[in-house]
Amino acid sequence: MPNAKRKLILILGMHRSGTSVLTHMIHRLGVPLGVTLRATPDNPDGYFENENLVIVQESLLHALGRTWHSTEPMPDAWRETDIANEALEIMTKLVAYEFQNTDVFAFKDPRTCLLLPLWAHLIESLDLDARYVVMTRNPHEVAASLAARDGFTQEKSLALWQLHMNAIHAHLALVWQTRADQGKTAQSEATVIAYDALLDDPLRTLHKLSVALELSPASEEQLRSAASVVKRDMRHHTIAK
C-alpha cells in the first residue's frame, strides 16, 4: 500500500500475564523489537523488552513517586508535568530511531499500561499506525505468580491487576471514541489474547495475530519456530475453573 504508515505494535498486559512469551512469538514472526533487549535471572529466556525504553518508563514512574508495583493510581495531571514531557521527548527519539530501517516495530513493557497517555502523544507526533495486543490471564493466577516471585499478598496483586487492566480499557475506549468521531472503525486496532488459549493452541494464536496485525506472511519454518516458544512447563499457578 503506497504511503502506508509505519506500524507500532504495543503488547499490553499485567506483569506475569504471559506478555513475554507472546512478544517472543511475535518477534519470531519477523517483527523487530529493537537493538537492546533485557533479561533477568527470574526470566532467563528474556523479557523481550527494549531496554532503553524500559529505563525511561521506569525512571519516569520513579520521578512521579511510583514503581511498577505501586497500587496507588497515577498522580493527578501527571501527563502535564515537565518530567513527563522530558520522558516523552526521549521516548519519541528512541522509537523514531527504531523505525529507521523498518516499517514495523513491537514494544512490550507492562509499565506501558500506566503510561499510555504518553504513548498516545508519541503515536500522533510520529504519525504511526498503532496496533494493540492485550494479553489477559486469570487475575488469581497472576497473583499466585507474583506471590511466588515477589512475595506479594493476593490483595496487592489483585489491586495491581485491576489498575493495569483499567488503564488499558480507558485508553482503548478513548482510541475507539476518537476514531468513531472521525468516522473510522477501530476494533481491528486491539487484539485480545488469553493466556490459556495461547498455551493450548499457539498456532491458532499466531494465525490470529498475523491476520489482526496484518503481518507479512510467515513461512512454515517461522510458524514452527514461533509456536515452539510455548513450553509445557509454562502452565504454572493454574486456578481450577
| Mean pLDDT to the nearest integer, 114-143 | 97
| Mean pLDDT to the nearest integer, 107-129 | 97
| Mean pLDDT to the nearest integer, 91-115 | 97
Domain annotation covers residue 240: no
**Residues 91, 85, 125, 26, Cα dihedral to 10°:** 30
Domain annotation covers residue 1: no
Q: Please give the grid coordinates belonging to residue 122.
A: 508519541
Domain annotation covers residue 91: yes
Decide if pLDDT at 230 tops 90.
yes
Measured from the Cβ of residue 221, the count of other Cβ atoms closer than 10 Å reads: 9
Domain annotation covers residue 48: yes
| Mean pLDDT to the nearest integer, 87-98 | 97
Decide if pLDDT at 45 tops 70.
no
Domain annotation covers residue 63: yes
Count of the separate structural domains present in the chain: 1
What's the CATH code of the domain at 18? 3.40.50.300
